[in-house]
Amino acid sequence: MKIGVLVNEGPYTHEASDSAYNFVKAAIEKGHEIYRVFFYHDGVNNSTRLTEPPRDDRNIVTRWSELAKAHNLDMVVCIAAAQRRGIMDENEAKRQGKDANNIAEGFRISGLGQLVEAGIQCDRLVTFGD
């Protein structure tokens, strides 16, 4: 089965990110294809490389990055939601006149059309968070 995943909540404030991560990992282990993971609303906060949880806590951003690398996942961050929350890749930082970027490895910034495409291309689009 080809699955798209939508993550609407940020890490550490809601269980949606942990649940989405565990779902994606389990789906891959069962042989399903994860077409795309799309981060929207506060879910874009899962993509900032500046997150630094206490050492005895899980690092949700690192988990996502490692999973993307291991399984070649397409993890897309909504550009409008990211801009509102100060999350930028190198190109967007230059475009906005900023001196740094903060997007974590394995994530890319794109438009809402990527979510629409996932909904069209997938057998199922599973949403985590409000």
From 78, 109, 115, 125, active-site residue? 78
Non-local CB neighbours of 69 within 8 Å, separated by 6+ positions: 105, 106
Copy the structure tokens of residue 33: 């294809």
User: For residues 102 and 89, is the Cβ–Cβ distance under 8 A?
Assistant: no
122 labelled catalytic: no
CA 118/CA 71 separation, integer angstroms: 17
User: For residues 69 and 110, is the Cβ–Cβ distance under 8 A?
Assistant: no
**Torsions phi, psi for 47 (to 5 deg):** -105, 0
- Chain Cα centroid distance, residue 98: 22
Q: Which residues are catalytic?
A: 78
